[in-house]
Amino acid sequence: MNNVCLALAIAFYLLSTVGYIVYVFRQKRKIHKIASILLWGGFIAQTVLLISRYVETGNVPVHNMHETLLFFAWSIAGVFLFFQLKFELMVLGAFIAPLTTLIVFAASMLSREPVPGDPVLKSIWLALHVVTIFMGNAAFAVAFGLAIIYLIQERQIKEKKAGFFYRRFPSLNRVDSMGYASIVVGFSMLTLGFITGAVYAQLVWGRFWSWDPKEVWSLITWLIYAALLHERLVAGWHGRRAAIMAIIGFAALLFTFFGVNFLLKGHHAPFTKF
């Protein structure tokens, strides 16, 4: 059952990727609609998989690399689909769908052996911590995609080359404000993730903060995004600089997510074992 769901999700995401890429070339609304429905298909298949895993183990399934990656992909697809209900994101799908597909595919290559749930992990705070952090990460991934789109479009306009992407990408202002919205969402989620994580740590280990490498790097990431938001509110920072900052922020986030676990030790390490 789980394997069927995973296979279905991969198939849907793959088709959706194809759909979005065709959309970039053809610019037909109908193709976009189909690609979007396919992405929903993949998302639903993955949701079913996650629920079944949750029911089996009683935990949010993020106990090994396979599960963590799947959950990350699911968050990205979910956040993107949610944004798409509100904004006309269109071409962003051509960035998000392949990313999701790639992550799910990578996850499917890894060991799927479920890790026995440690009773210490059974906590509503931990569940909230995981969900908010992942939602935040997904929102930052969307912001990262938008930042890249912004930089490409900005280059086109600055260098006065009305090339392939000029017509296909949305206007600078729209990409910029969507990126801003994603970062606000990501930042709020990350903050909530900190709070819930700290509460959980207090309950389990008796302290809110323990200078674990993961915590420190998360804080660095949080500070980068905080600086970006601060400059935006105070000095009206937007456009190219904000986009570059969003990319730097995402790089820090990736390091926090993977790098810390591989290179440094800490209490998050087991969740990305493979």
Report the interface residues with another protein, using CB under 8 A.
Answer: 153, 157-158, 160-162, 166-167, 170-174, 235-241
CA distances to 23, 66, 267 from 133, in Å: 31, 17, 16
Residue from 187, 190, 174, 178 nearest 230 by CA = 187
Cβ proximity to another protein, 76 vs 89, nearer residue: 89
> How near is the Cβ of 150 to another protein at its closest, in Å?
11
Q: Could you list the beta-strand ranges (E) of 45-160.
A: none
Q: In whole angstroms, how close is the CB of 188 to another protein at the nearest point?
A: 23
CB nearer to another protein: pick between 110 and 244: 244
Task: Specify the residue, 30 or 158, whose C-beta has the smaller distance to another protein.
Answer: 158
Closest approach, Cβ 228 to another protein, in A, equals 13
Q: How far is the CB of 222 from another protein (least distance, A)?
A: 24
Nearer to another protein, 51 or 162 (CB): 162
Structure token pair of residue 274: 């493979």
Nearest CA to 12 among 47, 63, 64, 61? Answer: 47
Interacting residues of 37 by C-beta distance below 8 A, sequence separation 6+? none
Coil, helix or strand at residue 177: helix
